[in-house]
């Protein structure tokens, strides 16, 4: 078995894995990333990054590169998909920057990956593509990972950053599997210069139309692209692989014209099943630990899956840096620091999922409830999420922050996905 000066093996070159690799290289640590894909090619759609995620990237010296590739969002609108009435509007431009020190932004995933890969390459991170993790053996001194091709890789420790359907998680906790929500997402990029595009879609705003058993989200990525996500509850009686999509047809039938315009343009050629996992208290064993979706995959309601992965990476690197070579202690400290915050994101995202997709009298009640979040109140309700700056102990912050205590446990959503 290997010793502490051997590389820390990171499984997965997604947002979490690359950010961790970079953060560890900045501390002078030796890392090796194993990625199953032959070529690192993130799906080509948008991603929202709250001020907490922007802050975490900034702590790694990536603020300028991220800002050059992203669009600052002025407002998040949640509207009723059937009558287009406003459910909630959150001013996110200057107010968010002033309150949380960083903006609310959106970025093309390919651009985010590009900047992470460039930074990893500058930092000398070793990434092996076409290297699918299969299993890991660990003892008190190190780990040996095996890939599906039969290669063995020795390291000081192993971090599973391999996403929702994590093989590292399956090795450690085989009973913890992804839980399908019964919903699926369809994504499309539209041309913002399309002359038929409704003018209200051209602003630097995230808009979510919440409808019975479906929602539609869109936001611009730069000046040319409109990112569109449609999420529908799958019809249990229908053929799960059918592309005729009775669910989208149903949503089109009841949606307000602007939401319908978007529903008519979404591509149904590929869809992503929406899943999360049950919150887990322990994310690892000894020299093996999970981060990101592998540890705490969440529904997209708060638009924070990647944000949590990036926060994890910054926190884990910092714990490793402070642990004076005691990697097991660093993993335990990281797990303890992050577990409540990420579980809160998972559980609030589930609760809000129901609120977003309700109908009838529930939808009317929702309209009244959200009216309470006028003005700055919405930002204070989100302070636990967007105001997090890491390393100052998540649990203490959301108990002690007077603004958050005032708002109690009321939930408030962001236009997730
Ligand atoms: C419709 C939709 C919208 C979303 N919108 C947002 C949003 O607006 N904001 C936000 O913050 N989050 C959003 N998310 C969530 C976000 O995409 C994920 O939470 C985030 O990508 C998780 O990062 P990760 O690094 O943990 O995993 P991933 O980014 O999934 O990376 C995992 C990596 O591991 C690799 N891998 C998997 N198995 C193996 C193996 N056996 N061996 C080697 N490599 C392996 C994969 O190829 C991949 O490169 C959204 C998700 C969906 C589905």
Out of 23, 117, 130, 305, give the residue to mutate to test ligand 1, the one with the largest number of ligand atoms within 8 Å of its CB.
305
CB atoms closer than 10 angstroms to residue 137 = 14
- Measured from CB, residues less than 6 Å from any atom of ligand 1 are 11-17, 34-37, 47-48, 132-133, 161-163, 167, 185, 229, 272, 292-294, 300, 303-307, 309, 417
Q: What angle do CA 179, 42, 312 make, to 5 degrees?
A: 60
Give the pLDDT score at 382.
94
| Structural tokens at position 56 | 């975490």
In the block, tokens 């990333």 appear at 33
Ligand 1 atom closest to the Cα of residue 308 is 11
Interval between CA 297 and ligand 1 midpoint (Å): 9
Interval between CA 10 and ligand 1 midpoint (Å): 14
| Structural tokens at position 141 | 């001194």
Interval between CA 262 and ligand 1 midpoint (Å): 25
Nearest CA owner, ligand 1 atom 25: 16
Ligand 1 atom closest to the Cα of residue 306 is 11
Interval between CA 238 and ligand 1 midpoint (Å): 28
Q: At what angle do helices 305-322 and 15-26 cross, to 10 degrees?
A: 30
**Distances in Å between the alpha carbon of 83 and those of 163, 200, 254, 309?**
37, 16, 9, 36
Give the pLDDT score at 396.
36
pLDDT tens digits, 174-193: 999 999 999 999 999 999 99
pTM for the complete prediction? 0.92
Ligand 1 atom closest to the Cα of residue 304 is 11
- DSSP code, position 7: P
Asked if 34 and 145 touch (Cβ cutoff 8 Å), the reply is yes
Q: At what angle do helices 305-322 and 327-356 cross, to 10 degrees?
A: 160
Ligand 1 atom closest to the Cα of residue 167 is 41
Out of 293, 310, 316, 415, give the residue to mutate to test ligand 1, the one with the largest number of ligand atoms within 8 Å of its CB.
293
Give the pLDDT score at 4.
65
| Residue 40 to residue 297: CA distance in whole angstroms | 21
| Residue 103 to residue 99: CA distance in whole angstroms | 9
Interval between CA 306 and ligand 1 midpoint (Å): 7
Give the pLDDT score at 245.
76
Interval between CA 164 and ligand 1 midpoint (Å): 7
Q: What is the mean pLDDT of each run of 10 residues along the chain (417 residues)?
A: 77 98 96 95 90 96 95 96 93 94 96 96 95 97 96 97 98 96 95 94 96 96 95 73 74 95 92 95 97 98 97 97 94 97 97 94 88 79 91 40 32 47
Out of 12, 145, 208, give the residue to mutate to test ligand 1, the one with the largest number of ligand atoms within 8 Å of its CB.
12
Interval between CA 40 and ligand 1 midpoint (Å): 12
Give the pLDDT score at 375.
65
| Residue 292 to residue 127: CA distance in whole angstroms | 18
- DSSP code, position 339: H
Interval between CA 254 and ligand 1 midpoint (Å): 32
What is the signed CA dihedral for 133, 344, 317, 104, rounded to 10 degrees? Answer: 100
Give the pLDDT score at 269.
85
| Residue 276 to residue 272: CA distance in whole angstroms | 12
**Distances in Å between the alpha carbon of 120 and those of 32, 60, 127, 381, 393?**
11, 11, 9, 36, 28
Interval between CA 15 and ligand 1 midpoint (Å): 7
């Amino acid at each position: 078995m290997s010793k502490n000066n051997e590389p820390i093996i990171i499984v997965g070159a997604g947002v979490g894995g690359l950010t961790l690799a970079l953060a560890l290289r900045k501390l002078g640590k030796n890392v090796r990333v194993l990625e199953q894909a032959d070529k690192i090619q993130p799906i080509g759609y948008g991603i929202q990054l709250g001020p907490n995620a922007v802050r975490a990237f900034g702590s790694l010296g990536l603020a300028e590169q991220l800002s050059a590739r992203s669009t600052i969002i002025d407002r998040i609108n949640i509207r009723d998909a059937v009558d287009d009435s406003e459910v909630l509007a959150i001013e996110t431009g200057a107010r968010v920057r002033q309150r949380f020190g960083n903006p609310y932004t959106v970025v093309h995933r390919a651009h985010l990956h590009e900047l992470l890969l460039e930074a990893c390459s500058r930092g000398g991170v070793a990434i092996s593509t076409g290297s699918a993790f299969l299993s890991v053996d660990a003892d008190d001194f190190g780990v040996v990972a095996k890939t599906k091709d039969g290669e063995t890789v020795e390291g000081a420790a192993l971090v599973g950053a391999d996403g929702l359907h994590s093989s590292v998680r399956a090795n450690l906790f085989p009973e913890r599997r992804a839980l399908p929500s019964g919903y699926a997402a369809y994504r499309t990029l539209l041309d913002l210069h399309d002359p038929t595009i409704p003018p209200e879609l051209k602003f630097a705003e995230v808009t979510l139309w919440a409808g019975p058993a479906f929602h539609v989200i869109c936001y611009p990525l730069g000046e040319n692209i409109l990112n569109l996500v449609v999420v529908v509850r799958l019809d249990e009686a229908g053929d799960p692989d059918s592309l005729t999509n009775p669910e989208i047809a149903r949503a089109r039938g009841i949606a307000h014209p602007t939401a319908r315009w978007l529903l008519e343009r979404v591509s149904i050629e590929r869809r992503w099943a929406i899943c999360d996992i049950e919150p887990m208290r322990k994310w690892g064993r000894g020299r093996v630990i999970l981060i990101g979706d592998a540890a705490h995959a969440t529904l997209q309601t708060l638009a924070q899956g990647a944000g949590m992965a990036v926060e994890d990476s910054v926190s884990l690197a910092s714990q490793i840096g402070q642990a004076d070579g005691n990697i097991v202690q660093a993993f335990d400290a990281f797990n303890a620091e992050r577990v409540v915050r990420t579980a809160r994101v998972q559980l609030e995202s589930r609760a809000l999922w129901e609120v977003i997709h309700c109908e009838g009298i529930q939808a009317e009640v929702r309209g009244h409830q959200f009216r309470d979040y006028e003005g700055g109140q919405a930002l204070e309700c989100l302070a636990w999420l967007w105001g997090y700056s890491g390393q100052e102990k998540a649990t203490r912050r959301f108990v002690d922050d007077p603004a958050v205590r005032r708002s109690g446990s009321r939930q408030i959503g962001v236009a997730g996905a």
